[in-house]
Amino acid sequence: MDRFEIEGGVPLAGTVNVSGAKNAALPILAASLLADGPCRLEGVPDLRDIRTMLRILEELGVESTREEDGAITTRVVDPTRVRAPYELVKTMRASICVLGPLVGRRGRAEVSFPGGCVIGPRPVDLHLLGLEALGVEITVDAGYITAEGDGLRGGGELYLGGPYGPTVTGTANVLSAAVLAPGTTIIQSAACEPEVVDLARFLVAMGARIEGIGGPTLVVHGVERLHGTRWRVIPDRIEAGTLACAAAMTGGDVTLLGADPAAMTAPLTLLSRMGVSVERGAEGALRIRGGLRTRPADVVTLPYPGFPTDLQAQFMALLCVANGNSFVTEKIYPERFIHVAELQRMGAHLRKEGPTVIVQGVERLSGCHVMASDLRASAALVVAGLAASGRTTVERVYHIDRGYERIEEKLMRLGARIERHTGVAVEADAALPS
Ligand code: EPU
């Protein structure tokens, strides 16, 4: 298993390109199952999760090729296949995104039930209720969700809100099924995340009829078929936010190219309030300049346009060295605090009280051995390591590879001293605490 060795304390400087958004690309790739012709998808990042989705699509009779210019072309070659197996689904929860497109287009889906994960329980009840409201019959047996829906019925109103707000991939699933359901479907409490907007626009480019895109009420007029199309995936606001945290925490001066600042109002506003200089330039350029220790802040994660849970850990790393006490409250995944113990090992003063962590800023973190445990927690450890004194070893970076495209290369180009070491013996790794 790979690890990163980071010599911290170097202010990051220079320019870096933002990659396409993983969480937009995954449901869009899944929705290519709906198309009667080939889809050309540009800006799809080259990530472990994307490769997993392509393997699932292959199981489902969709051929894909990565073109020389980086675009991915998908083409349905066998529309009879409907099973997404456990071996693949267990490695990535977002595999559930094929459920809606499969049952919408092929009338049947068999998708392994995705389990829990380290960021807390992650049920899919809202996905299933939403599909049932479209006339899909759901059964769960032997670890698989079977969805049957030959002749979906639109024409109804359905509600997708849950205890923690709307569901992002649940909205993607229901929307992807509703576009082919006859009649008009009204989806209430739809997620408004930019990634859902991107999916909806992609569906429209394929011939779907959807009103209210970007808002909580989506009105879908079912169409008979969808055609192939060409689409460019939006920039990754979470990658951009992570790089912004790294720039701020190292006291650096970094320009992010090709970002989408309009989708990042909450995190960028927070950075400004903390005293980080945020300048917006032309064509999505974002210049982030850190300096002295930042001011503390009150961070509360919320559905979009609120502060994203996927940046909570990275901002907590930054607040660990703020000049005062901060509060970080998690309202989407109240248990998403696995990074806390690792940041404490680096010298952070953190106290968890229910879904809130009180962060008492210290002058500096110190490098040590830390363990990556999920995608964003790992990113936070890298950000912390870049700013810490001494050497930080981040184990199990395969978590980061799920969602960040060649992160160490991007950071190295900004002057970071970070190296990937491959192939630590499995026995040695197993001996580390998990
Ligand atoms: N929820 C339910 N029932 C459901 C679905 C969700 O109770 O049927 C709850 C969840 O347990 C959670 C909340 O609703 O408390 C929101 O979950 P949501 O369904 O919106 O999350 P998701 O669609 O599974 C996506 C992203 C996550 C991101 C969340 C929240 C993808 C592939 N994943 O997950 O991204 O944290 O939305 O914004 O889009 C990541 O990239 O690191 C990541 C975890």
Q: How far does the centroid of ligand 1 lie from the alpha carbon of residue 291, in Å?
A: 34
Verify whether ligand 1 is closer than 6 Å to residue 402 (CB atom).
no
- The helix-helix angle for 125-133 and 168-178 (nearest 10°) equals 20
Would you tell me how many other CB atoms lie within 10 Å of the CB of residue 223?
A: 16
Smallest CA separation from ligand 1 atom 2, residue: 123
Verify whether ligand 1 is closer than 6 Å to residue 168 (CB atom).
yes
Structure tokens at 67: 């073109």
Q: Are 264 and 241 in contact (CB under 8 A)?
A: yes
Q: How far does the centroid of ligand 1 lie from the alpha carbon of residue 362, in Å?
A: 32
With vertex at residue 345, the alpha carbon angle to CA 316 and CA 418, rounded to the nearest 5 degrees, is 75
> Measured between alpha carbons, how far is 78 from 25 in angstroms, rounded to an integer?
22
pLDDT value at position 237?
Answer: 98
Q: How far does the centroid of ligand 1 lie from the alpha carbon of residue 12, in Å?
A: 31
Q: Strands 161-162 and 137-141, how do they pair?
A: unpaired
> Measured between alpha carbons, how far is 218 from 306 in angstroms, rounded to an integer?
20
Verify whether ligand 1 is closer than 6 Å to residue 29 (CB atom).
no
| Catalytic residue of the set 39, 97, 117, 320 | 117
> Measured between alpha carbons, how far is 318 from 391 in angstroms, rounded to an integer?
18
In terms of Cα–Cα distance, which of 113, 122, 254, 103 is closest to 180?
Answer: 103
Smallest CA separation from ligand 1 atom 43, residue: 310
- Rounded to 5 degrees, φ, ψ at 424 are -65, 140
Ligand 1, atom nearest to 23 Cα: 39
pTM value is: 0.96
Verify whether ligand 1 is closer than 6 Å to residue 376 (CB atom).
yes
> Measured between alpha carbons, how far is 198 from 168 in angstroms, rounded to an integer?
12
Structure tokens at 306: 């609120």
Verify whether ligand 1 is closer than 6 Å to residue 125 (CB atom).
yes
pLDDT value at position 424?
Answer: 53
Q: Kindly list the averaged pLDDT for each block of 10 residues, start to end, along the chain of length 434.
A: 95 98 98 98 96 97 96 97 95 95 97 81 92 96 93 86 95 98 96 98 98 98 97 98 98 98 98 98 94 95 98 98 98 95 98 97 97 93 98 94 95 98 56 32
What is the number of alpha carbons within 13 Å of residue 396 lying toward its C-beta?
20
Residue type, 359: V
> Measured between alpha carbons, how far is 413 from 152 in angstroms, rounded to an integer?
51
Verify whether ligand 1 is closer than 6 Å to residue 375 (CB atom).
yes
Q: How far does the centroid of ligand 1 lie from the alpha carbon of residue 167, in Å?
A: 6
- The helix-helix angle for 265-273 and 237-249 (nearest 10°) equals 10
Please indicate whether residue 117 is annotated as part of the active site.
Answer: yes
- Write the CB contacts of 83 (distance below 8 Å, at least 6 apart in sequence): 59, 60, 110, 111, 144
In terms of Cα–Cα distance, which of 190, 271, 235, 264 is closest to 23?
Answer: 235
pLDDT value at position 403?
Answer: 95
In terms of Cα–Cα distance, which of 325, 326, 323, 320 is closest to 344?
Answer: 320
pLDDT value at position 427?
Answer: 39
Q: Are 16 and 410 in contact (CB under 8 A)?
A: yes
Alpha carbon distances (Å) from 108 to 60, 111, 148:
12, 10, 4
Q: Are 207 and 227 in contact (CB under 8 A)?
A: yes
pLDDT value at position 116?
Answer: 64
Q: Is residue 194 reached through a cis peptide bond, with omega within 30 degrees of 0 on the bond before it?
A: no
Strand partners, 307: 301
Give the rounded distance of the alpha carbon of 29 from its chain centre: 14
Alpha carbon distances (Å) from 275 to 250, 290, 294, 315, 379:
14, 8, 6, 14, 22
